[in-house]
Structure 1
Amino acid sequence: MALEKKILALGGSGRVGQMLRAGFEIAGEHRVIWQSRTPLPGGICLDPLADDGVDALANAMKGRDVVFALAGVTPATGGSMSINSVLANKTLAAAEQVGIRHVFFVSSAAVYGVSDVAHREEEALTPVSDYGVSKQRMEEDILRAQSPIRSVILRIGNIVGADQLIGGATKGTTIGLDQFAGGGFPERSYMGPITLTSILTQLFDRALAGDALPQILNVSAPGTVSMDALVQAGGFSFQPRPAPEQAIPRVVLDTKRIEGLVTMPENAAHPDQMIAEWKRLQAAVEGNVT
């Protein structure tokens, strides 16, 4: 008897969606069916932004228990940032139409402002980019909705391979890295793609079990990684350059809340482990491992 596809994931054709599809395959997570606007093997092809987008989404949600709403506009994809709110509202309307209990909405660490201390989920948001502002508005729409749906907002940190640092690098190139007056390089909250897959799978398990989850969660490996350490772990060379005045030295997410809900993979916060996860995923995408 085929395993039921209890989880509908929206946005399977983007960079993160492609990585997660491969990551779930590696993990043996076969409860997820993916939606995209272009055909995917075994997936659902529909355009949520079409005039019948809500009805099409509702039809795709029938028989599911959890929706993972990854679809959206990023600086890399281009398009109007207002689409992020439009997609969230259409997803909520469709989920309410068919009685979906749990929807995970993907937001971003970009909603936070500049701070030397770890960003906590309950702090006031002061985003500095248009993308961050769009995600803040999306979150506000979700939190304002009067709905029986259990919505969980996932503020996801940097993902190795989906970022501009490692994901945009090619073999043999030298990466330019901002270096601050004290000699240090930027530090960011990061995680490997398989760590993200593991976190999501555990959150889905909790939702399917009926557990009450916090409405907002930072999602990342604990602490920060210095970008020079990550570049070196990836086997790339880099060239220091004076950091511009607007460069942010450190962005760190407080991960206490998520660490209380899931078990992090061993060494998830180590740059060597993050790079190993990325390389394993690349091999899986190329069909070299299962």
Structure 2
Amino acid sequence: MAKDAVLVLGATGRIGRLLQLCPPEGLALRLQARRAQAAAGKPDAGWRLFDPLEDPAALARAATGAAAVLCLAGPVPGRGAGEMADHIRLGEAAVRAGAGAGARVLLASSAAVYGAGSGLLAEDAPLHPASAYGAAKAEMEARAAALGAELGVPVCSLRIGNTAGFDAILGGWRPGFSLDRFADGATPRRSYIGARSLAQVLGALLQRPALPPALNVAQPGTVEMAALLQAAGLPFAARPAPGTAIPEVALDVSRLQALLPVPLAPADAAQLAAEWAGLEPQLRQEQSRR
């Protein structure tokens, strides 16, 4: 049985590398990179070398025959506003490629679009991004949805919560690391998903014929950041939380759970840390070869 082809834009980023280590069953991945060294040592991995913004013709060719386009490409948080706008341009480029190929489009967005929203955040909650990164992702979602409606392309924006190991806590830990601590003694709580679990979820969603316009991606519940570091055996100090600190960001994942063949288990600090511990050496080894 032939596998569905999926064009993965931005395949050299963290999630793209994760999909190479944990390839989804039933899918043939076409991996896009801008530079040849990204594909070094992997001649059979299906790499396509081009810049999606500078070479739309190459993007269209790479998407031909694909069932879906997964756009993971975009600047990392903390870059300037000008670079953040690339999220919008890349999202629209993915939709145009999907239109030419007759493919559905999945865009990697972020829980950052909700900003400091309180309570259990469902996909229809108002978006109040509190950072340039969150604002760029929210604008990407809106512009891609409008273009998709115009061109007849199904578009789903994946609002991915904290991925354990790709986050600023477990993944960003360094000696002397400190966490905000609130007056009640708690550290921030966030919706999380394990790295291997994320790969499995993406594989399942890429094989769904229809998805909603936006979808929260995380495991049920929240995890306290202190518990995550403790589970990983990483020491940390505590500092008083500033007034701008957000105590909790909790995503409603009921819509996601209904779409998965096997619902995700509630987030657990030990499970999240174990998934990262199993993948970290391979991800670091691969990164060192680039």
Same fold (TM over 0.5): yes
Name the structure 2 match of 1:149: 153
Name the structure 2 match of 1:34: 31
Cα RMSD, aligned residues only: 2.0
Output the CA distance in 1 between the equivalents of 2:249 and 2:120.
7
Provide the secondary structure at the position in 2 that maps to 1:80: helix
Contact 2:164 2:194 in 1 (8 A): yes
1:9 aligns with 2:1: no
Name the structure 2 match of 1:219: 217
Contact 2:68 2:98 in 1 (8 A): no
TM-score of the two chains, using structure 2 as the length reference: 0.88
Higher helix share: 2
Gaps of 5+ in 1: none
2:6 partner amino acid: I
Contact 1:160 1:166 in 2 (8 A): yes
TM-score of the two chains, using structure 1 as the length reference: 0.88
Contact 1:54 1:91 in 2 (8 A): no
Report how many residues are paired. 275
Contact 1:57 1:94 in 2 (8 A): yes
- Which of 163, 168, 172 is the aligned partner of 1:164? 168
| Cα shift at 1:265 | 6.7
1:162 partner amino acid: F
Deviations 1:108-130 (A, max 9, x none): 10110313301110111111111
Name the structure 2 match of 1:88: 91
Contact 2:115 2:134 in 1 (8 A): no
Gaps of 5+ in 2: none
Output the CA distance in 1 between the equivalents of 2:137 and 2:156.
14
Output the CA distance in 2 between the equivalents of 1:268 and 1:29.
26
1:127 aligns with 2:129: yes
2:234 partner amino acid: F
Most deviating of 267-276 and 28-37: 28-37
Output the CA distance in 1 between the equivalents of 2:86 and 2:264.
37
| Cα shift at 1:156 | 0.5
Output the CA distance in 1 between the equivalents of 2:263 and 2:124.
26
Provide the secondary structure at the position in 2 that maps to 1:206: coil
Output the CA distance in 2 between the equivalents of 1:93 and 1:206.
20
Contact 2:219 2:264 in 1 (8 A): no
Runs (4+) off by over 3 Å: 27-30, 76-79, 263-268, 283-287
2:114 partner amino acid: Y
- Which of 237, 246, 254 is the aligned partner of 1:248? 246
Output the CA distance in 1 between the equivalents of 2:261 and 2:275.
17
Q: How does 1:64-103 map to 2 (within 5 A)?
A: 64-75=66-77, 80-100=83-103, 102-103=104-105
Provide the secondary structure at the position in 2 that maps to 1:72: coil
Contact 2:3 2:26 in 1 (8 A): no
Identity %: 38
Provide the secondary structure at the position in 2 that maps to 1:81: helix
2:63 partner amino acid: M
| Cα shift at 1:167 | 1.0
1:276 aligns with 2:274: yes
